[in-house]
Homo-oligomer: A and B are copies of this chain.
Amino acid sequence: MRNDSRLSRMLHVLLHMAQHNKPMTSEEIARMLGTNPVVVRRTMAGLRDEGFVRSEKGHGGGWVLATDLKEVSLLDVHRAVGGPRIFAIGSERPSPDCAVERVVNEALGDALREAETLLIARLDAVNLADLAQRFELRCDAGP
Contact = CB atoms under 8 A, between A and B. Distances in A.
A12 B101 CA distance: 5
Given A86-B88, A87-B88, A16 B100 contact: yes
Interface in A68-106: 74, 78, 84-92, 98-106
Contact of A2 (B92, B106, B116): B92
Contact of A122 (B86, B90, B106, B114): B114
Identical chains bound together, number: 2
A112 to B, nearest CB: 7
Interface of A: 1-8, 11-12, 15-16, 19, 32, 74, 78, 84-92, 98-108, 110-112, 114-116, 118-119, 122-123, 126, 130-131, 134-135, 138-139
